[in-house]
Amino acid sequence: MSDIRNRKAGNDVARLSRRGFLKIGAAGLAAAALELAGYDLSPSQVAAALARRQEGALRVAWGGAPATLDPLFASADTEIAFLNAVYDYLIDTNNNSELVPRLATEWSVSEDGLTYTLQIAEGVTFHDGSALALDDILWTFERLRGEGPTADLYADITSIEAGEGNSIVFTLAQPNPDFLYNLTDNHAVILKQGAENIGNEFNGTGPFRLDEYVTDRAVFSANADYWGGAPGFGTLEFVYFDSVESAVNALEGGVVDVVLRMDNATYLNLSNSGSYSASAVPTSGHDVVRLRADQGPGADERVRQAFKLATDRQAIFDRIQFGFGAVGRDTPISPVFERYYTEETPLPARDPAAARQLLADAGYAEGLEMTLYTPNLPDRVALAQALAAQWEEAGIMITIEPQEEAVYYADNVWLEVDLAITPWGARPVPQIYLDLYLKSDAQWNEAHFSDEEVDQLIEVAGSSLDEEERVNAYHELQRILIERGPYIIPYFFAQFGVMANTVGGVEVHPFAGRTNFQQATVG
């Protein structure tokens, strides 16, 4: 139907001069106007979007399109947002990174911390009408535990079984206080047992059913039978643009209602304009500036200290984050992790002269020349330039080497060079960062930092069932990283969402792709 309408609108515009504009549909005129105004939309995108406005639709713009929709391999925001619409997770996280029920309505842990029992909601059906069975969950986790990116994450699970009533029981080989967070992992959406053609056909239990998926948009209709209550509006539409700029243009043109994920400057403009409801959510995502601790200048602790002393984190935060997010303290444990975060250990104030002296003591009296590698992303190149200017005052001369992301990561540049900037996305618990890049034997220990005390503390924080012990371990870790870690973490990012004033009930999630839309209201 909408296709026919599009074609008609197009024809009418083409015949404008001959037939007069009275006969032209409003959609056609508006589409032409929007197109002329340069909103980077295909005519069918404009017409479809305008048509849907009348139908109680929520239109969400993304600055990119999904590449893979197989839950095992999906990772980008657009991909996860798609999966989060058609499927359900067992457990969700909210915008404060707290656990909230989804398919699992409640859960309990045994005293030894090895057995987790999750109560599964009753009356859940897949979009094809079949009921959700515990076997579907077992099958999904078999798939997640097999070969693939999630195999490591779930390696400690010794068994998953159906429990009493409608419950499911996970048994672990060793205690893991963050296990429930592992269940919230982006890949862990529940599929139907024996599902085929995964990533192309989407038979989920989620709040939205897929109606249409083409390269530039995905259209979902509300799942009237959703076990958690049907969404309050008819259609959810994801519109995929080439860039955030185009997505923002579409928002300003009234063609979409919501834009998630954007750069700091764009958000500042939109929130200043006063025409939208804008929210900035603090996250744990951060940029790591790290020296290699096992070779080169960074092997000397005095050099690490000199870099720290030469850095003005507040100035960087003000210039590059525009005050959104939080100032960093050289550790991945961000203020959003509330009780785990501490400011007990003071960060020494910036002192380029002292830094110069430390460098001289370390044998670099004539100054130190280094190359700073960074993925070629605007914010990181900006960070590199800010650092280079600050470090220069301490006699550290930097050559900036921006590299295409594909080269930076695929050729393992980031794991090898002496000085680099690496962005890390938001995670719901601090332990993930420690396991991924801080532990001596971590897969992505890009600084090649190896410190027995740190390893022990990470072990305690990741396995102790005594919450106080964990808190102490995290606090102690922060002290060590400030004192001798090879890292500078100047800031934590904020996640941004900007919406038309007619939209309500959408809470921007620190990981934009996990933002839930089923509670949304469309004015």
Partner 1 sequence: MFKQLSRAPGRIARPVWVGLAGAGGVLRELMRSPQSALGTLIVLFFLMLALFGPQIAPYRANDQSSAPRLEPGGEHLFGTDYLGRDVFSRVILGASSIFRTAGFGTLIAVVIGTFVGLFIGYQGGTVDEIAGRVIDALLAMPALLIALVILGIVRNLNFEPGSWQARLADNSVLLVIALVYVPIVARVVRSSTLEIKTREFIEAAQMRGESRLYIIFREIFPSVVPALVVEASLRFSYAIFLVASLGFLGVAARPPSPDWGLMVNENRGGLYDLTPWALEYPAAAIALLVVGVNLMSDGIRRAVQKSG
Using CB under 8 A, list all residues that contact partner 1. Answer: 244-245, 248, 262-269, 315, 318-320, 369, 371, 376, 378, 381-382, 384-386, 388-390, 392, 399-404, 407, 411, 413
Q: Are the C-beta atoms of 136 and 191 separated by less than 8 Å?
A: yes
Residue 67 identity (one-letter amino acid): A
Nearest-approach distance from CB 351 to partner 1, in angstroms: 16
CB of 298 to partner 1, least distance (A): 16
Q: Which two tokens stand for residue 290?
A: 């790290």
Half-sphere exposure of 233 (CA within 13 A, CB side): 24
- At closest approach, how far in Å is the CB of 256 from partner 1? 17
In the DSSP assignment, the letter for residue 275 is S
CB 225 within 8 A of CB 125: yes
Amino acid of residue 429 = V
Nearer to partner 1, 84 or 266 (CB): 266
CB nearer to partner 1: pick between 252 and 455? 252
3-state secondary structure of 178: coil
Residue 339 CB, nearest approach to partner 1 (Å): 34
* Residue whose structure tokens are 């620190």: 510
Distance CA 454, CA 440 (A): 9
Among 242, 282, 241, CA closest to 258: 241
Give me the least distance between CB of 372 and partner 1, in Å please. Answer: 10
Least gap, CB of 379 to partner 1 (angstroms):
11
Q: Which is nearer to partner 1, 102 or 292 (CB)?
A: 292
With respect to partner 1, which residue has the nearer C-beta, 370 or 477? 370
Task: Give 338's DSSP letter.
Answer: G
Kindly write down the DSSP assignment for every residue of 44-76, as one continuous string. HHHHHHHHHHTTTEEEEEESS--S---TTT--S
Q: How many CB atoms lie within 10 A of CB 157?
A: 18
- Greatest alpha-carbon span in the chain: 84
* CB atoms inside a 10 Å sphere around CB 277: 15
Phi–psi pair at 428, nearest 5 degrees: -80, -20
Q: Whose CA is closest to 428, among 107, 65, 177, 235? A: 177
Please answer whether residues 41 and 49 qualify as being in contact, where contact means their C-beta atoms are separated by less than 8 angstroms: yes
What is the nearest approach in angstroms of partner 1 to the Cβ of residue 329?
A: 22
Is the CB of 173 or the CB of 389 nearer to partner 1? 389
DSSP element (H, E) containing 509: none
Judged by beta carbon, residue 77 or residue 136, the one nearer partner 1 is 77
Considering beta carbons, is residue 5 or 319 the nearer one to partner 1?
319
CB of 4 to partner 1, least distance (A): 37
Closer to partner 1 by CB, 179 or 408: give it.
Answer: 408
Residue 72 and residue 199: Cα distance in Å, rounded?
9
Are the CB atoms for 72 and 187 separated by under 8 Å? yes
Question: Shortest distance, CB of residue 423 to partner 1, whole angstroms?
Answer: 17
- Whose tokens are 């939205």? That residue is 208
In whole angstroms, how close is the CB of 292 to partner 1 at the nearest point?
15
- H/E stretch holding 484 reads helix 467-484
Shortest distance, position 424 Cβ to partner 1, whole Å: 22
Q: Which is nearer to partner 1, 95 or 390 (CB)?
A: 390
Identify the bridge partners of residue 89 per DSSP, sorted by sequence position: 189
CB of 6 to partner 1, least distance (A): 30
Q: Which residues of 226-243 are buried (b: 16+ CB within 10 A; e: fewer)?
A: bbbeebebbbbbbbbbee
Task: State how far the Cα of 232 lies from the Cα of 260, in Å rounded to an integer.
Answer: 20
DSSP bridge pairs for 399: 371
Q: Which is nearer to partner 1, 108 or 243 (CB)?
A: 243
Per-position DSSP letters for 488-521, written without gaps between them:
E--EEEEEEEEEETTEES----SSGGG---TT-E
Nearer to partner 1, 118 or 256 (CB): 256
